[in-house]
């Protein structure tokens, strides 16, 4: 009898969840794989809905792009304006004229969904929240998102402020490229102003960070208009999934349905990698280069998401590199790689060099020429 019950239990555990059983309470939902953008599950993905604080994913994306460009530094100290300090909703209770480093403000946004910290950084970057919101909507156009319009940088309910599950997933797809945000959004609890009299305990609004092993982000949201929203992400078995739900009735249902979506994705799909950026595809001579030869690599990983059990066909690679002449900068496009499966083209991707190669000096070229002559004569 015990063996019989065990068998029944195991069968129950491993019965696969069907797609139509996912996110049944959400107004809209989507599950994608981050590197390819492949949609694994969808429900009303283009419906325009209030995104609540998931709006801050776009704010964070612009902030990190400013960090990457050098316009903003993690250790820079920001003075908080009266406007930023007056923000309601989720906050870290910044005071007017208080000074806080960019890194700590980012923690406040990523972990605690702080409206005041978001506005403080928006004002630093663009001069005002209004100007920053224009930058957000310009980025929406650049990403070719059709169902998003922002009226503020925090996600507070406002007329004509909307997005969709699909658009949110694409913004998240861009944001997870910034490892620093994932470093912050994976923290469950920490302190701000720890060695001061104004110590603040910061607890992650995304409870899956603690209760679903491996979740390292990304953003929750709630308003009366939006209901309970969540964008969650996790990387496992060389595959990063992003799940978005909007308009859930409670936080518990929201978390449970996102958990079900992530389980569904990892149970049914696998990532098959064709080439990674650290793989050397070839070695090409560089005219006038300090380094005479350059290693050719792809600019990003190329992979495919397939259902488990899928058998990959014969993979072939066609590398085309143009004539190289120094100087060449790492990341600069120097040719292309075409990947084929069973003779059919899968994709074509740009290739670059694995390091910057400067132009050789006159004497370097002279002695290189002499060395070549002597080697030839020997």
Residues annotated as part of the active site = 53, 56, 113
Find, among 148, 166, 168, 150, the residue nearest to 158 by Cα: 150
- Using the structure block, give the residue that is written with the tokens 């002597």: 374
Rounded CA gap, 97 and 128, in Å?
16
φ, ψ (nearest 5 deg) of residue 107: -65, -40
Measured distance between the N- and C-terminal CA atoms of the chain, rounded to whole angstroms: 86
Give 230's contacts (C-beta < 8 A, 6+ positions apart). Answer: 54, 206, 208, 219, 220, 221, 243, 244, 245, 248, 254, 255, 258
φ, ψ (nearest 5 deg) of residue 168: -60, -40
Q: At what angle do helices 115-126 and 129-142 cross, to 10 degrees?
A: 80
Is the Cβ–Cβ distance between 161 and 151 less than 8 Å? Answer: yes
In 3-state terms, what secondary structure has residue 74? coil
Rounded CA gap, 26 and 246, in Å?
6
């Amino acid at each position: 009898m015990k063996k019989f019950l065990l068998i029944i239990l195991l069968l129950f555990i491993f019965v696969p969840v069907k797609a139509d059983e996912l996110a049944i309470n959400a107004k809209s939902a989507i599950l994608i794989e981050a590197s390819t953008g492949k949609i694994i599950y969808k429900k009303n993905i283009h419906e325009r809905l209030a995104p609540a604080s998931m709006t801050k994913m776009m704010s964070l994306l612009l902030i990190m792009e400013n960090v990457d460009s050098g316009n903003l530094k993690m250790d820079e100290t920001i003075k908080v304006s009266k406007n930023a300090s007056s923000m309601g909703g989720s906050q870290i209770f910044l005071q007017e004229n208080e000074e806080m480093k960019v890194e700590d403000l980012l923690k406040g946004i990523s972990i605690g969904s702080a409206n005041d910290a978001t506005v403080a950084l928006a004002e630093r970057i663009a001069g005002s929240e209004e100007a920053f919101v224009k930058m957000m909507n310009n980025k929406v156009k650049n990403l070719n998102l059709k169902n998003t319009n922002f009226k503020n940088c925090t996600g507070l309910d406002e007329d004509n402020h909307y997005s969709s599950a699909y658009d949110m997933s694409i913004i998240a797809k861009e944001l997870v490229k910034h490892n620093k945000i994932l470093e912050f959004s994976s923290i469950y609890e920490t302190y701000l102003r720890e060695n001061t009299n104004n110590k603040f305990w910061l607890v992650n609004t995304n409870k899956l960070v603690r209760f679903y092993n491996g979740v390292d982000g990304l953003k929750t949201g709630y308003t009366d208009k939006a209901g309970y929203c969540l964008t969650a992400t996790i990387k496992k078995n060389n595959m990063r999934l992003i799940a978005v739900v909007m308009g859930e009735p409670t936080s518990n249902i929201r978390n449970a349905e996102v958990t079900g979506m992530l389980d569904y994705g990892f149970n049914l799909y696998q990532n098959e990698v064709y080439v990674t950026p650290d793989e050397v595809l070839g070695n090409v001579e560089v005219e006038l280069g300090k380094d005479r030869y350059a290693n050719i690599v792809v600019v990003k990983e190329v992979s495919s998401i397939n259902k488990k059990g899928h058998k990959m066909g014969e993979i072939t690679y066609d590398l085309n590199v143009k004539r190289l002449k120094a100087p060449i900068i790492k990341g600069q496009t120097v040719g292309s790689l075409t990947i084929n499966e069973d003779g059919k083209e899968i994709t074509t991707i740009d290739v670059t060099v694995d390091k910057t190669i400067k132009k050789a000096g006159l004497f370097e070229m002279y002695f290189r020429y002499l060395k070549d002559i002597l080697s030839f004569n020997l």
